[in-house]
Amino acid sequence: MSSASVASRAVRRVVQGMPTSDGAGVKLRRVIGQPQLPDLDPFLMLDEFGTDRAEDYIAGFPDHPHRGFETVTYMLDGRMRHKDNHGNEGVLVPGSVQWMTAGRGLVHSEMPEQQEGRMRGFQLWLNLPARDKMTTPKYQEFGPERIPVATPAAGVTVKVIAGSTAGIVGPILQPATDPTYLDIALAPGAQFTQELPPDYAAFLYVFEGEVSVGEETSPVRTHQLAVLSEGVQIRLRGASPAPARAILVAGRPLKEPVAKYGPFVMNTREELQQAFADFQNGHF
Ligand code: CO
C-alpha cells in the first residue's frame, strides 16, 4: 500500500448552511445544494430543519413529485406525516428514518403532525445511477427502535442508519451508492475512528457542539459541514465542553452526467423533459 492509500481523511473545506425556505414556506438550512456546495456526488442536497417555532414548519411540504433519486428523512424531534399517490402513508416519529427511492416517480406530501413544539431533522437527497432511475418506487422505513446503536469507545454513541461501525450494521440496503449514515454523539474529549472506502465521497455535519477531525487544529462547529478528503478512515474527537453530535455520511460517487431541475434528477435534458411530460400527464 502507498502511504496515500492509508491516509486518514482530513477536512478539505468547511461549508456553512444557507438559510432558505422550501415546500409551502418551511424555514430550513440548506447545506448541500446551494451555491457554495452545489453537490457532492452522489449527494445532491442536504437540508437541516430545526426550530421551536410552529410558524417555521406548520405549512409543511404539500404534494410534490420526485423522479430519479432517493430522499432520506431522519427525524430528530417532532412528527411528520408522509403520504404518497401510491397509497403509502405513515408518521415519522423522533429517531425514525425514511429512505425513499423515488425511482420512476411518485407524488407525495410531508406535513407536520403537530401544532406546536420542536421540529428537527435532516433531509438528504442521494442520486441513483442511470440503470436505477426508472425503478419502481420503494421505501425503507425504520422506527427508532430499529436503528441499532453502537458504543465503540467510552463517551461515544453511534446510531447506525446505513453502513456499519464496530460490527453493528445499519438496516438500509442500497448497493449502488453503498452509503454510510451515522449519527455520532461524542462526550467532551471522546474519540472515535470510522473506516470508510478510501475513494468514497464523505462529509461530516455537526449539529451540536464542536468536533475535531484528525490533526486539524480548528474544530468543525455547529451547523458546519466538513467536506472530507479521501482516505481509509476518519478520526473524530468531541471538542466542545458540552457533548457534540454530528452525522457522518459517505457514499460511492456515481460519476455520471447530472441533469436536474427541481424535484427531477436525470442524466440528460431529454430525460428531464420526459419527466415533466410524464408528471403533467399523470403517469407518476
Ligand atoms: Co419530497
- Domains of the chain listed by start with CATH number: 3-280 (2.60.120.10)
DSSP class of residue 37? B
CA 84 to chain centroid: 20
261 CA distance to ligand 1 centroid (A)? Answer: 14
Kindly state the cell numbers that stand for 263.
Answer: 424535484
**How much distance in Å is there from the Cα of 155 to the middle of ligand 1?**
35
Cβ 43 vs Cβ 251: under 8 Å: yes
Assigned C-alpha cell, 221: 462547529
Distance 47 CA to ligand 1 centre (A): 12
Low-confidence ranges of the chain (pLDDT < 70): 1-6
Cα of 108 from ligand 1 centre, angstroms: 6
Cα 98 to the center of its chain, rounded Å: 11
CA of 184 to the centre of ligand 1 (A): 25
Q: Evaluate whether 229 touches 10 at the Cβ level (below 8 Å).
A: yes
Distance from residue 72's CA to the centre of ligand 1 (Å) = 9
| In contact, 48 and 205? CB cutoff 8 Å | yes
CA 95 to chain centre: 14
Question: What whole-number distance in Å separates Cα of residue 110 and Cα of residue 89?
Answer: 10
Separation between Cα atoms, residue 79 and residue 114, nearest integer Å: 6
Q: How far does residue 146's CA lie from ligand 1's centre (Å)? A: 23
Is the alpha carbon torsion for 57, 22, 105, 39 positive or negative?
Answer: negative
CA of 210 to the centre of ligand 1 (A): 30
Q: How far is the CA of 123 from the centre of ligand 1 (A)?
A: 9
**pLDDT at res. 217:** 87
Residue-level pLDDT at 6: 61
CA of 224 to the centre of ligand 1 (A): 24
> How many CB atoms neighbour CB 200 within 10 A?
21
- Residue 137 contacts residue 101 (beta carbons within 8 Å): yes
Classify strands 180-186 and 156-162 as parallel, antiparallel or unpaired.
antiparallel
